[in-house]
Amino acid sequence: MITLCGIPLSNYYNKAKLVLLEKGIPFTEEYVRTHSHEESVLSCSPLGKVPFIKTPHGPLCESQAIVEYLEAAYPETPRLIPAHPYEAAKVRELITYVELHLELVARELYPEAYFGGQVSDGTKKRVARVLPEHIQAFKRLAKFGPYLAGDSFTLADCAAWVSLPLVGMTTKIIYGEDFLAAAGIDWKPYAKLIGERPHALKVAADRKADQERSLSAAKS
């Protein structure tokens, strides 16, 4: 049995969770806050990051390593990476662009956008310079046909559904403009398409419930 550890507010946790659900893999969930210094966490995720999973073979951290393991360990369930090596590589290429070149850049703005902190003007200027260039590069690769890599739902959609909205919403909050939309990437219909899948609805409902619990705890 797989145990998924982390918090439902994490987009990378939800990426792994969506893959588990889509592939029909039995799993349980364990609530673990990010950056924990508990030895029980560090022994599974040395930086204390979430998500990580516990498997019959041992622990595994980093969301892309996790979903690649799930795809390889459960090949009899619906494939989320194409069988053809080139098409499989194109899916991985898209995931890299979404997570490394888009979400990770926008993430520098999260402290101010969502957590009541402040981001320096220098950081804002740098993100405003780099992110539009990266978005244009991503636009050359993404097919939205209707899925990110073409006509089939893949791991790239599990990554994009949890991260593209964050990029758009974060830039709207900080700069007053959705950088994705400004570049001609109409991500909202795509997010709706993926979000209407039964397993995505489950992930979204769990995330909303956890968010409400967190807000309630903060007020009490």
- Average pLDDT, 10 consecutive residues per value, the chain (220 residues): 97 98 98 95 98 98 98 95 97 98 98 97 98 98 98 98 98 98 98 98 97 79
Q: What fold, for 85-219?
A: Glutathione S-transferase Yfyf (Class Pi); Chain A, domain 2 (1.20.1050)
101 neighbors 142 (Cβ within 8 angstroms): no
pTM above 0.85, yes or no: yes
Say if strands 52-55 and 2-6 run parallel, antiparallel, or are unpaired. Answer: antiparallel
Q: Please give the pLDDT value at position 113.
A: 98
What is the predicted pLDDT for the residue at 76? 87
- pLDDT at position 114: 95
Cα separation of 219 and 187, whole Å? 33
Predicted pLDDT at 201: 98
Residues of the chain with CATH 1.20.1050.10: 85-219
The reported pLDDT for the residue numbered 219 is 74
Query: What residues does CATH 3.40.30.10 cover in the chain?
Result: 2-73
As assigned by CATH, the class of the 2-73 domain is: alpha beta
pLDDT at 62: 98
Computed from CA positions of residues 26, 37, 106, 176, in that sequence, does the dihedral angle turn out positive or negative? positive
- Residue-level pLDDT at 28: 98
